[in-house]
Chain A
Amino acid sequence: MDVAAPPKRTAKLGRDIQAKLGQQLRAMYDDVVNQGVPDRFAELLTRLDEHGEKEPK
């Protein structure tokens, strides 16, 4: 789909800018990803799992 490609401005935005924006976005995102799995979620899964195992499958 050709989104009425915002003509000159996009060109002006340029690859460098977009690359920088992309880097910031990923850095922000990866900062959270790198925190790994907080205990509460591992515990939650274990709890649900144990609960389930008591029931016949």
Chain B
Amino acid sequence: MALDESVRQAVLSAVPSLRAFAISLCGNVDRADDLVQETLLRALANINSFQPGTNMSAWLFTILRNHFRSEYRKRRREVEDGDGSYAESLKSHPEQHGRVEFAEFRAALAKLPSDQREALILVGASGFSYEEAANICGCAVGTIKSRVNRARTRLAEIMSIDSVDDFGPDRTTRAVLAGNDR
């Protein structure tokens, strides 16, 4: 299909955010880029089902999210992290997963249940409204709100935040050093 230039631009401009979403979901840059590529192929193969005038970004996020979920069911053990071993690997090999300074945060994020994680990212980072996030995840608005709330609470618990001072480079550096010791 020859791409309409405006469609092409809309797809391209969504790519950086799609990558950020994918990396946040699966915690691995290479796998995330494969996920984005598969998303683009699917989207373009089904471009006729995109309704002009609606939100291209939300449409692409929906495709990526659904694709990830179906893959995720197949590869559950890679992503489900009951014992925290995956999260630990994020700390010890942060270079495979993005910048070092976010290693601890990514590790905490990886410990969230996947439905809470995706809700938190969509609303807290991607900038979607609760309504848009609900559409992307195929659930009720109230469900998204409660998932985001639970995700925030849980994240704070995981990172054991007692005070705002607990944040910051020192804590991150300590975590990275501790990871190297293992």
Contact = CB atoms under 8 A, between A and B. Distances in A.
A3 B150 contact: yes
A15 to B, nearest CB: 10
Given A9-B153, A41-B37, A25 B142 contact: no
Given A9-B153, A53-B2, A32 B124 contact: no
Range of interface residues on A (Cβ < 8 Å): 35 or more
Nearest to A10: B153
B149 interface: yes
Interface string B145-170: 11001101101100101001001000
A28 B164 CA distance: 18
B23 interface: yes
Interface stretch (B13-21, B65-73, B79-87, B173-181): B13-21
Interface string A1-26: 10101100110010011101110111
Interface residues of B, number: 45
Interface in A25-57: 25-38, 40-42, 44-45, 48-49, 52-53, 55, 57
A37 to B, nearest CB: 5
A49 B106 contact: no
Nearest to B1: A52
Nearest to A33: B16
A27 B1 CA distance: 37
B17 A28 contact: no
Given A17-B164, A45-B40, A53-B2, A3 B145 contact: yes
B3 A45 contact: yes
Given A10-B149, A42-B12, 20 more contacts: A1-B142, A3-B145, A3-B146, A6-B153, A13-B153, A18-B152, A21-B152, A21-B159, A26-B125, A29-B24, A31-B98, A33-B16, A33-B17, A33-B20, A34-B16, A35-B16, A41-B12, A41-B37, A49-B3, A53-B2
Closest 7 A/B residue pairs (Cβ): A1-B142, A3-B146, A29-B125, A32-B20, A28-B102, A52-B1, A52-B2
